[in-house]
Structure 1
């Protein structure tokens, strides 16, 4: 069973997930985070973590390298395959350069060798939580823009793409074989539906759509 510490308030704060088979380490870290008002949840294995952790919650993972069953590095790869992008901080008493390189190349935030200083751990966690918050903010923005773009008609999307490329209304009308008045009408609809304050804002939002994120034609 997972060990719960520092219960979350009604609006959930970011959480620090601890995965370590050493009970004393789990308790020590949980006490540290509780003293700093960080919510935390500790697990003795990766299996227990997958069974009991809320992977949709904002936070980070403190992951011991040497665990029963799958090791920490392989579990990091498993999380990536699952689509989980929560930042990972590795802990180990047996760290070496190849392990560190592999972990960092796979996207780990930090690699701390036991025994580590409390401040080093707190700094690493603060950095990881900040990174996760920024990632989630970008994802939320992208999702919102995609939802707006899905309200455009195919013609409006063509007009938006042309505007983003810097084409004038007259050029857009010629390229699409429609009147300039119709282009202006579609352009106004695009600005309204995309909640764009200016052409520059529309360009920024179009860039957020990115390759492969065009809304389906309807």
Structure 2
């Protein structure tokens, strides 16, 4: 099986100042990043609603002061659409308090204008890495969720016992089966879930917010 292509999240630059917007796109592209310009929040939102732009792994650079739809209003609408990716606000000195509030409300970070190009690129790079990790976690969560769902009823029973820290002999007694059968199920479960140990499995389930109950 071929290795998956490495993720290369694009950066969407949303700003109603054409010169600034074009300069940002040029800067990002000069550093090897994929950048897409948008002249305002409404145009970006409309592209999402229409499917012109997919809500795939990406980073959003969002100017806080735009007309007619402000960056904060755009952010609120994105949140209502369950937007999952990092949003980095660009703000003037007088709007720092609003940007801080936006970060507390779920935005990734903010950067005050004027800023050093390297600082912006560093922040974008950090946001892109976070988006990539988030995407990988979601893919892993889905794979593990599907693998758990595909277990047989008996395998689920054994798995619950294993995660409670019970030894094979105790599991056999609890379920009325032989210890050898428990060992067989345990090996099958670990193989299907692609883990090497109970500790590894418990860690993954906890990190991804998954449960084997039900």
Shorter-chain TM-score bucket reads: 0.7 to 0.9
Could you tell me which of 1, 25, 29 is aligned with 1:30? 25
- Please say if residues 60 and 128 of structure 1, whose CA atoms lie closer than 8 Å, have aligned partners that are also in contact: yes
Which residue does the alignment assign to 1:3?
Answer: none
Q: Distance in 1 between matches of 2:128 and 2:149?
A: 32
Kindly tell me: are residues 51 and 12 of structure 1, through their superposed partners in 2, closer, same or farther at Cα, counting changes over 3 Å?
farther
Q: Distance in 2 between matches of 1:34 and 1:195?
A: 39
Q: Distance in 1 between matches of 2:147 and 2:97?
A: 46
Matches within 5 A, 1:6-85: 13-52=8-47, 54-85=53-84
Kindly tell me: are residues 25 and 100 of structure 1, through their superposed partners in 2, closer, same or farther at Cα, counting changes over 3 Å?
same
Q: Distance in 2 between matches of 1:137 and 1:96?
A: 34
User: Secondary structure at 1:182's aligned position in 2?
Assistant: helix
- Please say if residues 96 and 112 of structure 2, whose CA atoms lie closer than 8 Å, have aligned partners that are also in contact: no
Scaled by the length of structure 1, what TM-score is found? Answer: 0.83
Which residue does the alignment assign to 2:175?
Answer: 176
Deviates more, 1:107-116 or 1:10-19: 10-19
1:186 Cα shift?
A: 2.2
Which residue does the alignment assign to 1:5?
Answer: none
> Which blocks of at least 5 consecutive residues in structure 2 are unaligned?
none
- Please say if residues 64 and 91 of structure 1, whose CA atoms lie closer than 8 Å, have aligned partners that are also in contact: yes
User: Secondary structure at 1:90's aligned position in 2?
Assistant: strand
Deviates more, 1:82-91 or 1:188-197: 188-197
1:84 Cα shift?
A: 1.5
Q: Distance in 1 between matches of 2:151 and 2:208?
A: 13
Which residue does the alignment assign to 1:112?
Answer: 111
- Please say if residues 145 and 208 of structure 1, whose CA atoms lie closer than 8 Å, have aligned partners that are also in contact: no
For the aligned residue pairs, the C-alpha RMSD in angstroms reads 2.4
Q: Distance in 1 between matches of 2:119 and 2:208?
A: 38
Cα deviation, 1:168-204, whole Å, max 9, x if unaligned, reads: 1121123234343432332232122222223333333
1:58 Cα shift?
A: 2.4
Which residue does the alignment assign to 2:97?
Answer: 98
1:19 Cα shift?
A: 0.6
Q: Distance in 2 between matches of 1:124 and 1:30?
A: 15
Aligned length, in residue pairs: 206
- Please say if residues 91 and 99 of structure 2, whose CA atoms lie closer than 8 Å, have aligned partners that are also in contact: no
Q: Comparing both structures, which one devotes a greater share of its residues to helix?
A: 2
Scaled by the length of structure 2, what TM-score is found? Answer: 0.84
Q: Distance in 2 between matches of 1:88 and 1:38?
A: 16
